[in-house]
Amino acid sequence: MQKDATQEQIDKVNQQVKKLGLTPVDIPGSQRIAIGIIGNTGPIDPELFTGLDGVKEAIPVSKPYKLVSREVKPENTVIEIGDIKIGGREFTVIAGPCAVESLEQCITIARLVKKAGAHLFRGGAFKPRTSPYSFQGLGDKGLEILAEVRNQTGMLIVTEAIDHEVLAEVEATADVIQIGARNMQNFSLLKRAGKSTKPILLKRGMSATIEELLMAAEYIMAEGNHRVILCERGVRTFADHSRNTLDLSAIPAVKALSHLPIIVDPSHAAGRRDQVIPLSRGALAVGAHGLMVEVHHDPQHALSDGPQSLYPEQFAELMDAIRKLSSLW
């Protein structure tokens, strides 16, 4: 739409889309609104819309992920979470333990990472684990602990919803809802997340292509939630020097194709703490919008992913490096 398009003009375009038996989706930008059209099985004649008042241009979208594509929205999407913005010029860092173990553990780590400069606190109340005998998380009790962390420290919370059934509980507590790598193509969960008003942090599946990641994001946006943050967390390869192989090339590739912000999780990519800081520096260098890093004050006794968790002093070192490197761009 044109920059000065009125709501009446926008409504008339939406009505025209509906007359065709299709679905319009308003995509707000900083300067103008774009209207995505979904549900069509073939090309639509642009002249059906170019003559309508307020329309700047009608652009055929060649990608199967329409709403996620830069063809629909050329400018970057910036996700606002309180005073924090992800997708703009600021490099955003999310930090905390893999799993919520106790209130004392979470408060201790939250205060340490906040002091070092972290923007949001992460912690898993529900944990999807490879083994059914591994620690599965504290569940509802974990959500209560996360809420208390926010109350006591002021840090906003990122935590995972592992299935459709618990998403409503997570939604009531979290400031950002994470959908993990194992659930990237859990389509009923993606659709439910699309009905939420909370930002969704969508992690790339361990064997997923870039197009599959963007199509998963399309599921969320097609339901009306445009506040999607993508996350590269490593893919499974033949390499055995790390848990997964961090695909830093995915960052510029995604940024060329999509307007959505993308961050990097070096902890799950590496699986070992000695690689986390170098990979984090690489993520910043290739243009990621932020990091999600695991930190634990006593990783030897962590109930989940201790070997990949940074010590608080290592996290402080990482934040210092990020500030120095950010000044170069």
pLDDT, tens digit, for every residue of 178-220? 999 999 999 999 999 999 999 999 999 999 999 999 999 999 9
Q: Which fold has domain 79-326?
A: TIM Barrel (3.20.20)
pLDDT score recorded for residue 207 = 95
Per-residue burial over 241-273, b if 16 or more Cβ lie within 10 Å, else e, is ebbbbbbbebbeebbebbbbbbbbbbbbbbbeb
Q: Which long-range contacts (CB under 8 A, 24 or more apart) does 209-216 make?
A: 210/250, 210/253, 210/254, 210/257, 211/64, 211/65, 212/184, 212/185, 213/184, 213/254, 214/63, 214/65, 214/68, 214/69, 214/254, 214/257, 214/258, 215/64, 215/65, 216/184, 216/185, 216/190
**Average pLDDT value for residue range 145-171:** 96
pLDDT score recorded for residue 80 = 96
pLDDT score recorded for residue 281 = 96
Q: Would you say the pTM of this structure is higher than 0.85?
A: yes
The mean pLDDT value of the chain amounts to 94
Q: Residue 318 carries which side chain, given as an amino acid letter?
A: L
Q: Where in the chain is the domain with CATH 3.20.20.70?
A: 79-326
What's the pLDDT band for 133 if we cut at 50, 70, 90? low
> Among all chains, which residue has been given the structure tokens 């999807």?
128
C-alpha angle with apex 184: 120 to 36, nearest 5 degrees?
A: 90
User: Residue 327: is its pLDDT beyond 90?
Assistant: no
Q: What is the Cα–Cα distance from 196 to 190, expressed in whole angstroms?
A: 10
Tokens for 195? 């009905």
Q: What is the Cα–Cα distance from 38 to 34, expressed in whole angstroms?
A: 13
Q: Is the dihedral of CA 101, 104, 105, 110 positive or negative?
A: positive
Q: Over the stretch 249-275, which tens digit does the pLDDT of each residue have? A: 999 999 999 999 999 999 999 999 999
User: Residue 31: is its pLDDT beyond 90?
Assistant: no
pLDDT score recorded for residue 30 = 79
Q: Where are the alpha helices (DSSP H) in 30-166?
A: 47-50, 103-116, 140-153
What's the pLDDT band for 321 if we cut at 50, 70, 90? very high
C-alpha angle with apex 205: 186 to 190, nearest 5 degrees?
A: 25
